[in-house]
Structure formats: C-alpha cells, structure tokens
Structure 1
Amino acid sequence: MNQTKTNYLIFLISFLGIFVVNAQSKIPLKNVLNEITTQHKIQFNYNSDLVENVEVYPIQKELSFKEKLIAIEKQTDFIFTHIDTQIIGISSSTIICGYVNDFSTKAPLSGATVKTNTDYTVSNDEGFFELRVKNTSEKVIIQFIGYQTIQEQAFDLTSENCKTIFLREKSETISNITINGYLVKGIDKTISGSTDIDFSKFTLLPGLIESDVLQTVQALPGIRSVDETVSNISIRGGSNDQNLILWDDIKMYQTGHFFGLISSFNPEITQTAQVINNGTNASFSDGVSGTIHMKTDNKIQTEFKGSLSLNFINVNAFIDVPLGKKSSLQLAARRSIDDWIKTPTYHNYFKRVTQSTEIENNDKDVTNSNQEFNFYDTSVRWLYNPTDKDFIRINFILIDNNLTFDETAIVNNATETKQSSLSQHSIAGGINYLRKWNAKFSTSLNMYETDYTLKAFNANILNNQRFLQENVISETGFKLEGIYSKNNWKYSNGYNFVETKITNLNDVDNPRFLRLFSNVIREHAIFSQVEYHNIDENLTIKPGVRINYIEKFNKTIIEPRLSIHKKINEEFSVEILGEFKHQSTSQIINFQNDFLGIEKRRWQLSSNDSIPILKSKQASIGFTYKKKQWLIDAVGYYKLVDGITTQSQGFTTKYEFNKNKGSYDALGVDFLVRKNFKNLNTWLSYSFINNTYSFDDLVEKQFPSNFDITHSFTFGSTYTSKFVIFSLGLNYATGKPTSQPVIGNEINDNKVNFDTANNIRQKDYLRADASAMYKKQITDRTSVDIGISVWNIFNNKNTINNYYRISNDNVNKYSRYSLGTTPNFLLKLNF
C-alpha cells in the first residue's frame, strides 16, 4: 500500500471514530457512577443535588478506575477526592484567576507558571491565568524564570476577584544589586558602583532596535561619544583608548563595524555588560578611564534555540545547540547586506564615514568609482561542565571590515585605474576554566590571544605611488585567581601576565621609503581583593591592591582600589569609590589622512619617555534615593590622568601636528532622576564636567580638553504594553571646544595662525530619536520581533569637528557632521 493510500485510510478511520463518539447520546451521571460502583466495589460520597440533571457521555467499561474518574472530570466541573481506599468524595471545583505583572515596570509577564498540587497553567500575553482548584483552601504557587516564586491562597484568587499579582526579580534579593531598572528594565546598579546590563531582560532605548552594547552604554550618565561612533566613547572626559573593552575576559582592540557606527560584538551572543567608572576590582588592569566588560550566556542549554534577524544594515543568525547534558555549542554570525541591496541607512552610514576623506573628495583630476564596503563577524563558544564542580568555556571571535574603491585618471594620455583599500580585522580566542573545590573555595584560570590588524593601501595614481600602512597588535594574556568566602568575608588573590606586541609599518614605493617599528612589553601583576558585608548587609567594603611590574622599564606600579557602600535606610544609600590605574597602550594620530582618513588612529606602546605610561587617580562620592517608583542618583568625582600626548587627543585645529606630553584633570557630576508609572518608564540624566589639559611645553599651559562637554542632558521615556514597546529620547550637549584662526591674521609662515587653543565652542548638539518594537508569540517556542527606529528625527546638522586648510593664500574651514535622519528596520524570528 503506498503512502497516499495509508494516509487516506488513517484519516477515514479517525473521521469515523469522531463521528461515532459524537453520535453517542449523553446519559445521567448518576447512572455512570452506579455502574462504576458495581464494577469496582467503590462507594461515592456526594450530595444528591450536586449531580442532579448532570449528563455525560458513556464511559468505556474497559478503562481503569482512575481513567474513568479522569474522563468524568474532563466532562464536568467535579473533583474526585479519596476519603479512604473504598470511599471517593465528589465536590464541585472552583475557578481561580489573576494577572501576573512585573513589580518594577508593571508590565504583564507572559508564560508565568501557576500551579496547585493537582494542576497547572501558564499566563497569557496579558499576564492573565485561569485554573480550577478542588477547594479555596488550596495553596497556589506562581513562578517565572528570573523572578521570586510566591505563594497565594486560592480564596484570594476567586473569579469574582481576579487580582493582579506582582513578581519581583530575583536579583533584588541579591546584595550585589542596589538599583533594579536603573534606566530601563535590564539595567541595574551594583554595590560596587558599576552598572550591569542584562540584555535577556532588556526592553528598548530610543533610536535602537537591537541590544547594541556600545550604543546602550552611552545612555548612562557620564558616558558619551563625541562623534556618535562606538569607537570613540568618552567615559568621564577620557579618550576612547583609555577604555578597557573585554569580551568574555578577552581584551579587544577593535570595537566597531562601519568604522565605529555600530558595535562589532554580536548582540545575539552578548548577554551581559558591566560598565565600571571607578572602584575597579584589583583583578583588572588597563582602562584608566573605565571598563566595559561584556559576557556571553554561561548556561548550558538543554533544548535547541536560535534566532534569525534582518535589518537595513545586516543579517544575523544565532543558534545554541545542546551536546548532551553537559555541553552545548553557541554560534553567531552577522554580515552586511550591501552586496545585495544598498538601503538608505547604508547610504547614510557610508556618507558619514567617508565625508571629507580621499574616498569622497579626491584630486580634481581623479575620479573615484566602485566604492564597496562590507563587514562580518563570527562568534563561536563551547560550554562544557565535565563535573558538578568543573566549568570550561572556550570562546572565539572574528571581526572584519573591508572598504575598496577605484581611482581613475588620465596619465600620459592613457586612462589608468588603480584600487585603494582599507581593512580592519580582529581574531581572538580564550579559555576559561572554573573549579569549585567546595562551598567556600574556587579557582579560575583564564588564557587568551587577541590579534588586531589595520591595513590601508593607497594608490596615488597621479604620482604613480603606492602607500601601504599597517598597525598590527598581538597580545597574550594569562590570569589565575583564587576566591575564598567565609561568613561575611570574601578574599580574592591572583596573578596576571600580559605580553603585548605592536608593529607599525609605513611603506612607500616611489620614492622608496620603509619604516617598520615593532615594540613588545611584558607585564606581571599580583593582586588581592577583600570584600566584607556586615550581618544586616547594609554595609559593604571592598579594598584591594594591584602590584604591577613592567619588565622593559624595570618599573613597579602599586595601585590601590576601594569601594564602600553604606545603606542608611530603606530609601537612602551612600557610596565612596577610588582607584589608581595605569596602561601601556594608547592610540595616536600622526596625520589626518593616514589610513585613507577613515580610521586614522593607530595603536602604540609606551616608550616610558616621549610616550609615557598612562596613570590615573580617581575618587568619587555618590548618593542614591529611591522610594516607591522614584529614583534619584548623583555622583561627584575628580579624576587626574597623566601621560597623555597631543597625538592621542584628536586635535584637528591648533596643535594638530604637535607631539607633546601632558595630563588632564576632570571634575564632574553625574545625575539621574527616574520615575516609573504602570507601563511608562521615564528618566532624565545630566552630566557636568570641567575637563582641563595641562601641557608644560605648549604656549597655553592649561586649556579646555577636546572632551570637555561641559553640560549634557538626556531625556528618555519607554512605554511597554501587551505587544508593543515605544521609546522616545532627546539628547542635548554643549559644543566641543575648538580653535579658530586669528581674525585678520589667519596665515603666518605659510601655516594657519590659530588663536588661543580651544577658546571657542562648536554649536550645541541636539538630537531626538525614537524606536518601536512589536513582539508576538507565534507558538510555544516561536516568536517574532518587528522593530523600527529613527535616529535624529528632526535631521539636526550637528558638527562633529572643524579643521582648516590653506588654499590659494586663503584659509578654508571644513566641517564634519553627524548622521542626519536615519531610519532602521528589524525583522527577527526567535525559535
């Protein structure tokens, strides 16, 4: 018999079976109970009025006694209870109901489990549930992943009183968290002063439709990008190279795609991020301004899950595959879609990246064509727990950006075409091994290798010249740490070794010029951290110290760290943070047209002389007030960073070509007020900073820093409903300091004659953004997300920086501008 006939026969038998069942007539329940009593020698105890006029379909005699009772329960509202081995009581069931919502956001929780001793159900998209219970004295347990389990009485949940039940996140019971939902759900503040972002709980921020880590952190007070790129984030007045960026404990030197417009870390595999401004744990080095520590999901999945998404820039795929009970494999891959279609978003990004560069404006006799750009990233993780005490994680990441264009000109009466290119490439891998020896003691071992290459090939067709530039980093890291906990104390001690090699190449073929410079620094460190909680857990003290030894300079650097958090009462708490830090790497700009003028910064190692070791000292004091749905958070800080160079500070006007060393000090305040309503979350943040350079060898000994954004305001609001999330935001900041030529005497000795350094400011910055997301559950395991965002709704023309060039005995002013109105769209399938 072929398959078609077999399927037809099965359908026919099923149809006839349904027809026969439906053709049966109902009979009185009392008759069915009498038959069961006779057959199974069982006595039913019930009120005769209870079953009067109740009818059911006949019950098959060959069924077991238990199966017969279940069949009756399905057809009626009755509950059968064993009074003893031979007597069964019959009673009418009661329907209970309710709504399950998040305590902080008041948003409904879909999929919460509601159960009794005999039955269970789950809440729907509105958080609503309905369940039958035997009697109103039963206990009802309500559970949801990531939230505290609570217990209710059935009589409080009767159908006449479908009350709302609020669940609190489990993290609220963990002493490490002091503020849940610092801005929006998923962003929390800890007792150590850091901010933790959990993207599995994350809702939505204005202008974003994906959980871009480095875009998200810019919503926090004191953190902003001076040019809207994720590769130029300033934390409390520092330059981007002063930030330590970690991905699963691997140091990353490349952070952006599209040369900084979006994060290079796949949002589908990056689950959490910790932002540390001050009071850094002694186990961390580098990052004299701050640390952004990203981590992936550490849980071994027992079921296959994944996602596939598409937006106006890239396509993204992610899967998490179980490999037995002790292991799983995570894979994520993302690629730009400009090979298939160039969207308006792509055009805006490309224009923003290439403006005022050779790619956009070449020599008047040279024509540019075939401009192509693409990027991709791949992340692979293997999670393995060989025993209940051993945890192994192997991580790998690959990031790539490529830009090419053709230059065409007529040379010696013939048309010639040559290709120029720029590539940015990172590859890194790491191994983490955690061993829990017992309830009190554990050790962790982390090893990584990270490699970064920035390469530009500039074909100067008119001069028949080829210019090759490379900036290559190879770094190896090793860290061993032991943690011991007893009562209210926690001790952490360890050893850290890092070897960093940086190579810079400039290679010109006509006239022949080759400059290759390579430098290596090896650094050893031992560190110790102590953490104390008092019995009431309203006082936490975390002192630490890190002792570093740099082989090349035979130099020892001692760095104390401190974090104190005191909870005065239920509403008010105070924190005191302090740290000393150093780093041996920085980014410099030799010329504005290096690397085609796109990513013109190159990494370099300290020489301990002309390029000093960066050293920072920072102290801050803050307070937090929270009551009901209100939150007020304020932090005042002072930071001093010594060892900067003019080349690392992004000068585009005066001192653009100088090579001097100096320092900066920043005095500032970060302030946040937040109010939560039922479905609406609103916040207003304000940052003030007085950031001043000190350069002994310059004309002006002190003047405002290029990162002195004196006043910065952000207003945001997120509304969450059953299926839709809306987010709207407004960003305002005072303009960056800049220099201008002396009016009436613009040129001196064939150079631009600038007035006092950074004595004026660019126009103030203003940008409004909006986002909307629609989420729909299709099946139990499949859902879809549809999102839309608009960056810079009102198309404000914000100036990023200015620069001046001499042409025909005149000084011409040029400006680079931020993104104009840029829409984006997301379609994502979760399975």
Structure 2
Amino acid sequence: MKNNNSFFFLILLWSFCFGLQAQKVPKKTPLKEVLEQIADAHNIQFNYDSNSIKKTTVFLVPKELSLKEKLKNLEVQTDFIFTRLNAQIVGISSPVIICGYLKDVETKAPLIGATIKAKTNYTTTDNNGFFELKTRNNSEKVNIRFIGYQTINLSTNELSSKNCKILYLRERQEFIPDVTINGYLVRGIDKTINGNTVIDFSKFTLLPGLIETDVLQTIQALPGIQSIDETVSNITIRGGSHDQNLILWDDIKMYQTGHFFGLISSFNPRITQIANVTTNGTNASYSDGVSGTIHMKTENTLQTEFTGSFSINFINANLFTDVPLGKKSSLQLAARRSIDDWIKTPTYHNYFKRVTQSTEIENNDKNVTNSNQEFNFYDTSLRWLYTPSDKDFIRVNFILIDNNLTFDETALIDSSIETKQSSLSQKSIAGGIYYRRKWNPKFSTTLNIYETDYMLQAINVNILNDQRFLQENIVSETSIKLESNYSNNSWKYNSGYNFVETQITNLNDVDNPRFIRLYSNVIREHAIFGQAQYQNSNTNITIKPGVRVNYIEKFKKILIEPRLNIHKKINNTFSIEVLGEFKHQNVSQIINFQNDFLGIEKRRWQLSDNDSIPIIKSKQASLGFTYKKNQWLLDATGYYKVIDGITTQSQSFTTKYEFSKNKGSYNALGVDFLLKKNFKNMNTWLSYSFIQNTYSFEGLIEKEFPSNFDITHSVTLGSTYSNELFNISLGLNYTSGKPTTQPIYGNEIVNDEINFGIANSNKIDNYLRADFSAVYKKQVTDKTNVDIGVSVWNLFNTQNTINNYYKIEDNNANKYARYSLGTTPNFLLKLNF
C-alpha cells in the first residue's frame, strides 16, 4: 500500500511539473492581432496589405519594450520590413531580394569574399563570386567593394533576384597608369609601360618569409634587387651600393631606411600604400639615385569613413587610423613601437644577436663585462589631405623614426668596480607639403616642399683607459620643386624647377686626451627639367624622352642628363622596351673604420668635394622584352651601366683595401629574367639575375677586379596560394657567394700587416635560404576583420656566411665571419576596423 501511494505521488508530481512546463511554452499569435495591440499602446496606425500577413503568426512582443524595439522584434520574427513613414504611420512591406555574380573585368575570375552592403544588411560573395541579399525597398543603395578594386554603388532596382546579373569590377589603378603586366610576381605587384615596378599594398597577397607589407623587404623579391647582408639598409640594385638608391616617402628624401639597424623597414607598413621601383629610364623630375629609385607613397584618396587597425607581432606593435575631417579632409596617423620593453621574444633575440655579432657589444675587452643591453625603436607617421575645391589638392606629411641602443661596460679599476654606459642612437625627422592645382582639364601645376633631417650618434666608452669617444653624423636637406603638367590628345608634357640644399656635419670628439674634429659642408643645386610623352591612338607605342639640366653652385658645374623610355607593343602577347638615363648624386656613404659607431651602423653620409670625393655620375642603357599568354609570363631585360666617382671607402671593403682612400668607377653588365605561371588561386615564379660587376681603380695595385657587390648568380623560386580565407607562400633563395680576398698562404703576415692576395679573387660560400608564410583572414562583422599570420625565415636553419674579415692574433691571420639569421619565426595578430 505504501509503494502504491509513492507511485501515485510520483505520477501526480510528474503531471504537475509537465503542466508547469506546458504553461511556459509560448504560443504564436496572428500578426494582425499583435499589430492591433501595438497600435493601441502607442497610438499609431499600420499601413499594409491584409492578404500579405493573413497567414503570419508571431510570438507576443513584451509590452515593456519601446516602439522601435517592438518593430525590430517583429522584423526578426518575420520577413517583413517595418518603416516609420511619419510619427503616426508605420508601413509594412516585403523585402526586396537582390543577387548577382562578381568577376574581374580582365580575367573573368570570380571575386571571392567581396562585401555587398545595403543600409541595414550585408553579405559576402562565395567561391563562385555569387551573392544574395535582402534589402528594404527598390530604391535602396547597395555598396559593392573588394580590396584592390574600384568600389561601385547601385540601387536595388538594378539588381534582380529573378535574373542574377554578372557584375565586373576593375582593379583600382589611380596610382598605376598604363599597367602592362598585372600581378608581375603576385597580385598587387604590377609593371608599367614606363618600365617601373609598382607595388600596391591594398591588393597585395603574400611573399615568402613576410607576414606584413614591409616595403624594402618586398622589393628584394624583384629580379636584379638583392641585399648583400639580409638588411634593408644594404640593398643593391643592379650591382650598386645602398647609398646609390634614391629612397622617397611621399616625395621626401629619406636618409634612414631601417629599424633594428637594417633588419626591418623603418616605414610603417600600414600607412605606406604604394611603392614605385625604378631601375632605369627615370623621370626627368628626379635626381640622385644613380642605381635606382624607390618611391613610397601614402594613399591619395580622401577617406569618408573612419577606419583603422591594430597589429602586434614578435617585434613590434602597430596602431593606424584614417579619420575623415568633414567632406573635404582626412587624416592618417600611424605609430609603431618595439615590444622588447615588455617581452623579449625568440625573434627579438635572433635579431639582436644578428645585429651585434662581431661588435664591441658582443665581444668587448676580456677585462670588461657587458651587461644591460637594451634596444628599442619607434616610428610615427602622419598624412593630412585637404581638397578646398575640385581643382585644389593639398597634402601634408610628417615622419619620425628612432632607434636606441644602450649597454653597460663594467671593469675592476684600482680595486673598485666601475660601470659606464655606451649608447647608439639613429633618428630621422622629416616633413613635407604638396600642393596641386588643376587649372583646366589639360593643365595642372604642383608644388612640393620638404625638410628632412637625420642624425646618427654614438657614445663609446673605454672604461679601462677612462676615455669617452663621441661620434655624430648629421644630414639636413631642404628641397623645393615646382612642376607643370600639360596633356593634349596623344601628348603629355612635364616641366619644372628643382632646388635642393644639403648640409652634412661629421663630429669626432674624444675627452681624454682632448680631441675634437668637426667638419661641415653645404651643397646647393638648381635644376630645370622637361619631359614629353607620346602615345599613339592604339596605345601600342609609347615614347618618353626627357632632359634634366643641373647647376651645382659650389663647383660652378653644369650637368646635362638625358632620359629615354620607349615601349613598343608588337601584338597582344609580345612587347619590347628600351630605357636609358644619365644621372648624378652629390651624397654618398663611407666607412672610415669598421668599429665606428660601435660597429653597428658604421657608415656615415658625406658630401662631394669634387676632388677626393667626386660627384657620382652614371650612364645606363637597357633592352627588355615581355611575352605573356595563357597565364604564362616571360620577362627579360639586359642592361649595361657605368658608374664613375665612387671611392673605396664607400664600397664596404673588409679585407684588402679596407683602409685605402682611392676614387674610381665600376661597370655592370647583366640580365634579369622572370618566368611566371598563374593558376586559379596560385602564382608560381622563377627569377634569375646574372651580373658581371667590375671595379676600376687607377690608384690600386689591381687596376680592375670584381666588385664587392658582384653577386654573379641569383635565383628565386616562389609560390603563393590565395583564397578568401588563406594566403600561403613558400620560397627558395639562392645567390652565389660575394667576392672576398684571402691572405697569401704561407706568407700571411708581412711587416705586422696581413699580406692579402689578388683583390676579390676568392668568394665566400654560396647563400641558400628557404622561407614560409601563412595568413588566415576572418571577417568578423561588416567593418571588422582579423588577420592571423605566421612566418618562418630560414626554414631549414641554413648557416650562411654574409661577410668575412681577418685579424692579427698571436702573429697569425685569424679568419672571422659574420653569419645570416638562423631559423627565425614570427607571428602576427591584426585587427582591422
């Protein structure tokens, strides 16, 4: 009986709970009844077609919600759109469904991951480029955009769900006129009709070993451009030294190019939008850079919406914003700083070891202990755009770059421990104003003014001898350039005037015994230039002759420099180009001693004196051809150039002639070759460069011998895969060893000096490196996406010798070497908003 009572009690309890649960299940109510309740509560009317809502039911809307919240609730529960027509009437309508396919206008390939945004809704395209979206009405505006392509705006009545039309987008090329090769290596690297290579980072995918758009690392993937020691501050273009490169940031000349003393670029990758690389046929409006020109540019388009990003990797953190200031102005700000103050990652340790190897920071006197080595860097960039009218455009730029290294030296002096600090700082600050006036559709003028300043300072303490050695290298340059541009049918004309004043100061200051040496020079140069461009109606031939006339006040010297650029399109698959130029520069870098500036950044800028330090002059001619068909590309260029006015101090000798002071020249004969194949989502390329680079120094024992930058063979093999979620890149780099000089075997030392053999008759070991990169892209919201990336530099930890030198120790000529980076991972987390 007791068991039966328990059984009935359980049944009663279960029934009661089921009843409670059943009471909790809400029931749907006809939409019409809910609308009547809302209308009474808020004293409004609904305007709708009664037949369209007849069969629609919804859950009751909580009474405590506001009218706006209730309408939103009903939109979520139904497919209807609720629109406030006025204070008393709310219209109810069915959504308008739109659809379409997005494709590239040239390749007809689908654009995957493009954003289609209506007023209150958005979607992205799938693997076929297809999209479908609900909109509120037939007149609603729809914004269609894809990175690297021109944005289009349509109304919903132009897009029907019954007939999903194909929409073709064109790549955004406002900075890249007359593109002849799209995707020269990967998407975002193009080649123009002028022979320039243009990198548009808004379209850029990925290169091996990189997870961010480091400009000066990226250009090293191009044929004919290498770094002899893996740094961005030692880039050689067709056999020239780094100081023979003109490096511009928004038309401002920059004398400092690297952070971490050359291991990464000092130009913020987020604010730098375009990089234009010229190796020959330079526009007559530019001077300097006898080997090549690298012109980095910020975006020249006013931003109408706030955008920004924050990223962090194993080396630095980076913040970027682009803020619209009304309808006629926008401001870009970017700031980047090293993170080693917070955490020293394996990447940081590898970089620091690479920079300081074989320097006083790593190997001090055996009685001196180094400690508290600290390094940090930062950069800040600003770009302000203002368009007061449709005819006027103003751009203001500012950039600040800073590197600082400190370490303590400790020794036992007179039975007491003493500690002093050595330091090295490298800083650049520059600003510019650019103004363009479009007087009519055919004629415009531009004015560009900049001031750029650079300072390298080192304090080297010798604690054992109670000595402090201060070194400074300071560059200050001001430039004014006025240009006019006129176009008429097939012709374009460019002419102008350019004034440049450059002052360079070098200081050596020793406190014990007291010694000060300060020398400062100034050169002022005036130039007028003119350039014409003819392009026939079929655009299959372009001829661009130009001339620049320079007058150097100090030397009362006139230099006339012709420029030539001819591009001929034979047919749809084959074209040829002929380029030529004369150029000069008054500034170069020298090395007095390998241990200057603590041996970290031992080069210092100097001005020509037109005697022992000549004006550097160049002559160059090249012939190239391009073949492209069925997603294959073959591009080859042969060139010959002569550079006169170099000095041994500017050529980075570390063995024979390290302390010589002679002037001479070099000539370079070479070929740059590229073979590339495009697949659906993959680019694969093979590049090869050959160069025969020969010095000529009348004052040396060997009148002619191979250049220190004679990298005879250079091969790069790379492949990049890209889709809407992933970018993956793998590459292999090989170069033949750079020339070096060895002591004569069996007679290494003569008169307490190393007895070297024939200059540069030997070579260091060949260089081989494999790199890997991968980036995952995730769209979080309509305006927010996340990039997660990983890269590995020197994937197989190959030990590559990048330089060698000799020291006399215990009456022996001992050999030392500097090595490249070992396996170095990096990680990126980037939020775009």
Shorter-normalised TM-score: what interval?
0.7 to 0.9
1:25 aligned onto 2:30: yes
Given candidates 776, 788, 791, the residue that maps to 2:790 is 788
Instruction: Using structure 2 for the length normalisation, give the TM-score.
Output: 0.87
Equivalent of 2:524 in 518, 522, 525: 522
| Alpha carbons of structure 1 residues 250 and 21: separation in structure 2 relative to 1, 3 Å | farther
Return the letter of the residue paired with 2:409.
E
Q: Could you say if the C-alpha distance between residues 764 and 411 of structure 1 is closer, same or farther in structure 2, counting changes exceeding 3 Å?
A: same
Q: Distance in 2 between matches of 1:395 and 1:593?
A: 36
Deviations 1:747-771 (A, max 9, x none): 1111100010000111100000000
Give the C-alpha shift of residue 721 in structure 1: 2.2
Where 2:389 maps in the other structure, the secondary structure is coil
For residues 452 and 173 of structure 1, what CA distance do their matches in structure 2 show? 29
The residue matched to 1:741 in structure 2 has which SS? coil
- Check if 1:540 corresponds to 2:542: yes
1:550 corresponds in structure 2 to 552
Aligned to 2:247: 245
Inter-CA distance 663–532: structure 2 relative to 1 (3 Å threshold): same
> How far did residue 169 of structure 1 move?
2.0
Q: Is the Cα contact below 8 Å between 1:105 and 1:679 reproduced in 2?
A: no
Which of these residues, 306, 309, 321, is aligned with residue 307 of structure 1? 309
C-alpha distance 406-104 of structure 1, shift in aligned 2 (>3 A): farther
Structure 1 residue 673, shift from structure 2 partner:
0.8
Aligned counterpart, 1:64: none
Whole-angstrom CA distance in 1 between matches of 2:418 and 2:135: 84
**1:142-197: CA deviation from partner (whole Å, max 9, x where unpaired):** 775754679999999989x9898764425499761101110111111000000011
CA offsets per residue over residues 22-73 of structure 1, 9 Å max, x none?
A: 733379xxxxxxxxxxxxxx9x9xxxxx999977889xxxxxxxxx9xx99x
Q: 1:608 aligns with which of 600, 607, 610?
A: 610
* 1:768 counterpart letter in structure 2: A
- Residue range with higher mean Cα deviation, 469-478 or 510-519: 510-519
1:468 to 470, 473, 481: 470
Q: Residues of 2 paired with 1:650 and 1:157: CA distance?
A: 67
SS at 2:601's partner residue? coil
- The equivalent residue for 1:581 is 583
Match of 2:202 among 200, 203, 209: 200
The C-alpha deviation readout for 1:605-648, integer Å capped at 9, x for no partner, is: 00101000000000001011111211111000001000000000
**CA shift in 2, pair 1:77/1:678, >3 Å:** farther
2-structure distance, mates of 1:705, 1:22 = 87
In 1, are the aligned partners of 2:665 and 2:695 still within 8 Å (CA)?
yes
Correspondence for 1:419:
421
Q: Is the 8 A contact 2:252 2:432 kept in 1?
A: yes
Q: Which residue of 1 aligns with 2:296?
A: 294
Aligned 8 A contact 2:101 2:110 in 1 = no
CA displacement at 1:128 relative to structure 2: 3.0
Deviation at 1:335, TM superposition (A): 0.6
Alignment RMSD (CA, Å): 3.5
Give, in angstroms, the shift of residue 689 of structure 1.
0.4
Question: Is the CA contact (8 Å cut-off) linking 2:113 and 2:724 kept in structure 1?
Answer: no
Q: Does 1:209 align with 2:214?
A: no
- CA distance in structure 2 between the aligned counterparts of 1:813 and 1:105, rounded to whole angstroms: 59
The match for 1:738 is 740
Report the AA paired with residue 205 of structure 2. T
Indicate how the Cα distance of structure 1 residues 174 and 417 shifts in structure 2: closer, same or farther if over 3 A, else same. closer
3-state DSSP class of the match of 1:202?
Answer: coil
Letter matched to residue 124 of structure 1: T
- DSSP 3-state at the match of 2:353: helix
User: Is the 1:105–1:678 contact (alpha carbons within 8 Å) kept by the matching residues of 2?
Assistant: no
Distance 1:321 1:636 in 2: 46
Preserved CA contact (<8 Å) 2:102 2:169: no
CA distance in 2, matches of 1:91, 1:590: 80
Q: Is 1:121–1:130's contact at 8 Å kept on the other side of the alignment?
A: no
Contact 2:102 2:110 in 1 (8 A): no
Question: Which structure 2 segments of 5+ residues have no match?
Answer: 1-23, 33-46, 60-70, 82-92, 137-141
The question of whether the paired residues in 2 share the 8 Å contact of 1:465 and 1:510 is answered with yes
Q: Aligned partners of 2:172, 2:331: CA distance in 1, in Å? A: 27
Partner SS, residue 350 of structure 2: helix
- Residues 331 and 384 in structure 2, CA contact (< 8 A), matched pair in contact too: yes
Instruction: Say if 1:517 and 1:20 are closer, same or farther in 2 by CA, change over 3 A.
Output: same
Aligned to 1:15: none
The letter of the residue matching 2:772 is A
Residue 231 of structure 1: SS of its match in structure 2?
A: coil
Equivalent residues of 1:614, 1:644 under 8 A apart: yes
The amino acid of 1:25's aligned partner reads P
Q: Indicate if the aligned counterparts of 2:364 and 2:370 stay in contact, CA closer than 8 A.
A: yes
1:255-294 alignment runs, 5 A limit: 255-294=257-296
Match of 1:124 in 2: 125
How big is the shift at 1:328?
1.4
Partner of residue 506 from structure 1, selected from 505, 508, 511: 508
Task: Say whether residues 1:109 and 2:77 are aligned partners.
Answer: no
Shift of 1:104: 5.1
Partner residue in 1 for 2:698:
696
1:708 maps to amino acid: D
Q: 1:153 to 1:596 in 2, by over 3 A?
A: closer
Indicate how the Cα distance of structure 1 residues 365 and 220 shifts in structure 2: closer, same or farther if over 3 A, else same.
same
Tell me whether 1:444 sits opposite 2:461 in the alignment.
no
Matches within 5 A, 1:630-779: 630-779=632-781
What is the one-letter code of the residue matched to 2:517? Answer: R
Matches within 5 A, 1:15-164: 23-25=28-30, 98=101, 100=103, 106=109, 108-113=111-116, 122-124=123-125, 126=127, 127-130=129-132, 144=146, 147=149
Taking a change above 3 Å as real, the CA distance of residues 746 and 721 of structure 1, as seen in their structure-2 partners, is same
What are the equivalent positions in structure 2 for 1:335-346 lying under 5 Å apart? 335-346=337-348
CA contact (8 A) 1:107 1:678 kept: no
Per the alignment, residue 41 of structure 2 pairs with: none
Paired position in structure 2 for 1:562: 564
Amino acid of the residue matched to residue 110 of structure 1?
G
Tell me which of 328, 341, 366 is aligned to 2:368.
366
**Amino acid of the residue matched to residue 28 of structure 2?**
A
After superposition, residues 342-491 of structure 1 pair within 5 angstroms as: 342-491=344-493
Pair 1:816-2:818 in alignment: yes
Listed as ranges, the matches of 1:591-602 within 5 Å are: 591-602=593-604
Amino acid at match of 2:112: L
Contact 2:741–2:758, Cα closer than 8 Å, also in 1 = yes
Deviation, structure 1 residue 305: 1.0
Aligned residues: 772
Q: TM-score, normalised by structure 1?
A: 0.87
Q: 2:709 aligns to what SS in structure 1?
A: coil
1:235 paired residue among 234, 237, 257? 237
Identity %: 71
1:494-530 residue CA offsets vs partner (Å, 9 max, x unmatched): 0000000001111111122111111000000000010
